[in-house]
Amino acid sequence: MIPYVREVARHFSAQVTLVHAYPPIILPYGDLAVDPILPGDIRQFEETRLKKFAIDTFPGLHVETFAEPGEAGSVVHKIVEHQGTDLVMIGTHGYGPARRFLLGSIAAKVLHDVSVAVWTSAGSAASHPAATHYKCVLCALDESEEAETVLAAAAAVAAEYKARLSLVHVMDMPASSANFDFGPGEKEMRDDADCRLRELKDQLGIDAPHAVIDGAVAEGVQQEAIRRNADLIVTGRGLEQGTISRLWSRLYPIIRESPCPVLSI
């Protein structure tokens, strides 16, 4: 993540804040005495360690550091509110198919709780070398009301880096069965999606290629990113983060399967 953070700080003259959460001390019940100075000593140790990391990692930059006891996702959320942060950059391991259900994971909690844009590092191995100066931005859109906002953000990022912009919409069609065949309506749905993407581009004055493809959303976005040689995917998180929108429910696997970083708006 460090090269990406450096690039954002340099490119946008942004202030960097490093946040580190560490486990709080659980005081035992009973007569066992605990040194009251210990929590303060631990905080000082963690703060000193984080400041040294900041100096070694970001030489020449003024970096704010916060070392706080507590659950990591909650600590990040608190600092975001305190600092007025407008971008969170966080790594995610993306371990296994159960990853999307692990609401206790730090990245998942941050994605769900904070209202600002969140950049997450790639969950799977990149298919091409990582690029901190983006050359191709892929915008993954669903049919929700937030699509216009997400596309505007993707276009702004692409313009800032003078990168190519492309759009993709994945139609996650149920498999046809003996009782029901979706084939006759599939072309109509594809045409509707294609028309909507064209209208969105016209509304925002954007000239960029787009694709409407069939398949599972995460795999479809992944394959389009590989085909376009994208080094950043921009997508949405749902207007109401407390509910399960179509793209929100697929955001975790999109991040996990992505061959490049994902910026969720």
Per-residue pLDDT tens over the stretch 189-247: 899 999 999 999 999 999 999 999 999 999 999 999 999 999 999 999 865 444 444 44
The CATH number of residue 32's host domain is 3.40.50.620
| Structure tokens that stand for 247 in this block | 């793209």
In terms of domains, do 140 and 74 share one?
Answer: no
Contacts of 61 (CB under 8 A, 6+ apart): 9, 16
| Number of C-beta neighbours around residue 165 at 10 A | 24
In terms of domains, do 134 and 245 share one?
Answer: yes
Q: Of residues 97 and 217, which shows the higher confidence score?
A: 217
The pLDDT score that the predictor gives to residue 153 is: 97
Strand partners, 88: 118
The pLDDT score that the predictor gives to residue 122 is: 61
Give the range of the structural domain holding residue 35, as residue numbers without chain letter.
Answer: 1-121
Read off the DSSP letter of residue 108.
H
Provide mean pLDDT across the span 129-158: 91
In terms of domains, do 223 and 110 share one?
Answer: no
- Among 87, 106, 121, give the residue marking a domain's end: 121
- Among 121, 155, 171, give the residue marking a domain's end: 121
The label of the residue with tokens 């969950």 reads 123
d(CA 68, CA 1): 21
- Among 63-77, 97-111, 162-176, name the one with the lowest average pLDDT: 97-111
In terms of domains, do 220 and 105 share one?
Answer: no
The pLDDT score that the predictor gives to residue 175 is: 53
Q: Of residues 97 and 107, which shows the higher confidence score?
A: 107
